[in-house]
Amino acid sequence: MAPLKITVIGTGYLGATHAAAMAELGFEVLGLDVVPEKIALLSEGRVPMYEPGLEELLRKHVAGIEGSTGRLRFTMDWAEVAAFGDVHFVCVNTPQKHGEYACDMSYVDSAFASLARHLERPCLVVGKSTVPVGSADRLAALLAELAPAGDGAELAWNPEFLREGFAVGDTLHPDRIVAGVRSASAEKLLREVYAVPIGEGAPFVVTDFPTAELVKTAANSFLATKISFINAMAEVCEAAGGDVVKLAEAIGYDERIGNKFLRAGIGFGGGCLPKDIRAFMARAGELGADQALTFLREIDSINMRRRGQMVEMAREALGGGSFLGRRVAVLGATFKPDSDDVRDSPALNVAGQIHLQGGQVTVYDPKGMDNARRLFPTLGYAQTALDAVRGADVVLHLTEWREFRELDPARLGAVARERVVLDGRNALDPAVWRSAGWAFRAMGRPAA
């Protein structure tokens, strides 16, 4: 039997990684995007974002690159994609609508419509984008209506759980595969696509469409809840004089709770968790189930409050009062380490707030400088952590890059104006900094 031919529509984070991973699994892959610059870059084996291991994997498979398997190509031609694929993965993004909680389905809708019109042979279209529950039912009807192949073009829903920074590993070795299907043949095809990870033991959970869509939003809501829970505990610890890091460690030994995603700090950001919980609330409202998710409103406010609390902590460290004329070094701009993504980044938000209040903010980030500069051109930027800290009255650690844990506090102390460091991620070792003469404060932990 000839190996399946796979297409990937939308080559952002999710799609570019999925396309490269499918080629790695041995399939012939054709990726499509509507942005010509992305296609040009990917066709040269280059990635428009920083994601560890992704460029290497692309270069291993992109046709035309010396020594590659040639299994992966890119195009902008819908007819070519439709003619090529046995299985089409739709990986376009679903951002938050401007001025609303709901998610913007226009990219998904237009991708489905463009593809469907060209589908002349039997195939499986697989939705991977994070969508409001009920979308798959609607998109299945759209396929049936628009595809020349009619019922021969079937839909499946297969949410993606990859984390930025670990996208390649998460895609090649998923911790579970969720297949929302309406027929045994769709399930069989998806089992064929994922034969390797299934063989490695990845659980394969077969569901209906709504459940598959809900698994994704439920998972992200749970993760957001865990982070806001520990951040709420951090607030209580601050009021009561407790230590949230010790508290998290101690509750984490209970296997039912677990120790992951309990790092208190300035909270979650990025392109997924914040918009996904909001879209989930909006959708529940439409379904008349809004009461079930009112707690997510609280999760969102606890999270957003952290940023303001970090600003106040910085103000306090500077003796209270105004930021005017005070120099603030900010270590970290991305929403998490090992990524260059600054979308809804708590770190940049804090830097921006202090800047808007008159502080002289200098930011350094190992990978996020270009994106940060584009979003916040008026902040100061330094080439190294040392340069950012030079002359600073206070140092804020806001994204937990390994590089920052490996800094030498004595060297930084020699160039800072005041040795005051605030850890917004609870990732630095207080003892190391204090022994180098720094006043060290962290969110949810006692002052000394």
Residue 262 found at the interface with ligand UDX (CB under 6 A): yes
Alpha carbon separation from 112 to 65, 145, 440 (Å, rounded) = 31, 11, 53
Please give the Cα distance from 347 to 424 (Å, whole number): 9
Active site residue 272: yes
Sheet with 177-180, side-by-side order of all strands: 72-75, 28-32, 5-9, 87-90, 123-127, 153-157, 177-180, 204-207
Distance CA 305, CA 349 (A): 12
Q: Residues 151 to 170: which contact ligand UDX by CB under 6 A?
A: 161-164
C-beta of 31 vs 269, nearer to ligand UDX: 269
Residue numbers 271-310 binding ligand UDX by CB under 6 A? 272-273
Span near ligand UDX by CB under 6 A; candidates 25-33, 199-207, 263-271, 413-421: 263-271
Q: Which is nearer to ligand UDX, 91 or 119 (CB)?
A: 91
Give the phi and the psi of residue 373 in degrees, each rounded to 5.
-60, -40
- Cβ closest to ligand UDX, residue 45 vs residue 127: 127
Quickly list DSSP for 238-250. HHHT--HHHHHHH
CA distance 111 to 125: 11
Establish if 313 lies at the interface with ligand UDX (CB under 6 A): no
Closest separation in Å from C-beta 280 to ligand UDX: 13
CA distances from 194 to 21, 55, 158, 189, 291 (A): 11, 22, 11, 9, 37
- Cβ nearer to ligand UDX, comparing 25 with 347: 347
321: Cα within 13 Å, side-chain hemisphere:
5
The yes or no reply on residue 269 touching ligand UDX (CB under 6 A) is yes
Instruction: Give the amino acid at 374.
Output: R
Q: Give 366's DSSP letter.
A: S
Say which DSSP state 298 is in: H
Which DSSP symbol is given to 342? -
Q: Does 417 bind ligand UDX (CB under 6 A)?
A: no
62 is an interface residue for ligand UDX by CB under 6 A? no
Nearer to ligand UDX, 339 or 362 (CB): 339
Residue 335 sits in the site that holds ligand UDX (CB under 6 A): yes
Nearest approach, Cβ of 222 to ligand UDX (angstroms)? 10
Please tell me whether residue 17 binds ligand UDX under the rule CB under 6 A.
Answer: no
Cβ 206 to ligand UDX shortest distance, Å: 20
Q: Decide whether 10 or 45 has the Cβ nearer to ligand UDX.
A: 10
We find the least distance from the C-beta atom of residue 263 to ligand UDX, in angstroms, to be 3
- 261 part of the interface to ligand UDX, by CB under 6 A: yes
- Residues forming contacts to ligand UDX in the complex (CB under 6 A) are 161-164, 220, 223, 227, 261-263, 265, 267-270, 272-273, 335-336
Active site residues per annotation: 272
